[in-house]
Amino acid sequence: MDKLNIGIIGAGRIGKVHAETIAFRLPEAAASAITDLNLDAAKAVAARCGIPRVAASAEEIFADPSIDAVLICSSTNTHADLAVLAAEAGKHIFCEKPIDHTLAKIDRALAAVEKAGVKMQVGFNRRFDANFARVRQAVASGEIGTPHRVHIISRDPGPPPIEYVKVSGGMFLDMTIHDFDMARFLIGDEVEEIYTTAAVRVDPAIGEAGDVDTALIVLKFRNGVIGTIDNCRKAVYGYDQRAEVFGSNGSIETQNCYPNQAVISMGESIRRDLPLNFFMDRYTESFANELREFVDAVRNNRPTPVTGIDGRIPVAMAIAAKRSHEEKRPVRVAEVSAG
């Protein structure tokens, strides 16, 4: 297959990242068109990335027979409907997470993908980070023996605007969903039961909006592994992204990433600069890697590395975690997974 011709739906922060990856780092693909409700934003990305056409709508992109695949980078509430339309138009789909906040709409999208026979990849980019990939390798190869525990720390440098919190679906669907996917990825097995304790410790306005900002989540895997996820919307020292898997023969952990490796040694202290401050800096390479894998899967007719089902299961886990917090009890994922 020659270059994969891609249409981009959404010219916001993540749409811009993917457009730049295609333009400057992915010679196997070409962005043929881009659209956004804010056409000025689409025009700006098109100018920067050499995209020849700014489409008036997603439907215009779907109708273009020269476009092989689409990147759905618009707001979450549009993902599932756009995935259905893309599948019906015969386009391969890269969809940012989550596909939707509801399992029923996700199932509708996945059914359309299956019926059309197109490929779909969901944007869980952390799987493509070299640090977490090395942890997975150690588990999958048996390097640390039989895994007993997985602990994931994921804390943002600061909470999002309250306006965003109100439409985000809540912390479990918006933030922790990455960690639910990472737990499955690192251990290579499914979670059966979730128990959540959560609170508002950062900003009372988040609680007034019906959400939480601090949580500890306990996971019970089918294979007996016990997992914990430690979340907070605010870590004053920056973007805190760590993980450890402890096994029968040892453990493996990954620490935060820093802008440099310098250590300052003084009479009063030994210190270093703060870690990278947010996901756009921390996961730059993983965003490029996931898109490269998608393009390769389509061009060489291979399965995508993060399927639609991989996109569905973390949403079910998030719903179970929210229910556990509200009902103050462990919740089995099977309780909610039927939709």
pLDDT of residue 240: 97
pLDDT of residue 98: 97
Residue 235 confidence (pLDDT) above 80: yes
pLDDT of residue 280: 87
pLDDT of residue 183: 98
Average pLDDT score over residue span 84-98: 98
Task: Quote the CA–CA distance of 46 and 50 in Å, as a whole number.
Answer: 6
What whole-number percentage of the chain has pLDDT above 90? 98
Residue 1 confidence (pLDDT) above 80: no
Residue 324 confidence (pLDDT) above 90: yes
pLDDT of residue 2: 85
Q: What is the mean pLDDT of the chain?
A: 97
Q: What is the pLDDT of residues 27-76, one digit of tens each?
A: 999 999 999 999 999 999 999 999 999 999 999 999 999 999 999 999 99
Q: What is the largest CA-CA distance in the chain?
A: 67
Task: Quote the CA–CA distance of 94 and 91 in Å, as a whole number.
Answer: 10
Average pLDDT score over residue span 119-146: 98
Q: Which conformational region is residue 228 in: left (phi greater than 0), alpha (psi within -120 to 50 degrees), or beta?
A: beta
SS3 assignment, position 321: helix
Residue 168 confidence (pLDDT) above 90: yes
Task: Quote the CA–CA distance of 106 and 315 in Å, as a whole number.
Answer: 9
How would you classify the pairing of strands 4-9 and 29-35?
parallel
Supply the DSSP string of 3-33, one letter for each residue. Answer: PEEEEEE--SHHHHHHHHHHHHH-TTEEEEE
pLDDT of residue 339: 66
Residue 182 confidence (pLDDT) above 70: yes
Domains of the chain: 4-118 (3.40.50.720), 127-282+314-337 (3.30.360.10)
SS3 assignment, position 117: coil
What whole-number percentage of the chain has pLDDT above 70? 99
pLDDT of residue 75: 94
Contact 251, 244 (CB under 8 A): yes
Average pLDDT score over residue span 229-252: 98
Q: Is the pTM of this model over 0.75?
A: yes
Contact 299, 278 (CB under 8 A): no
For residue 7, which amino acid is it? G
Determine how many CB atoms are found less than 10 A away from the CB of residue 117: 8
160: DSSP letter: P
Which uninterrupted H or E stretch holds 118?
none
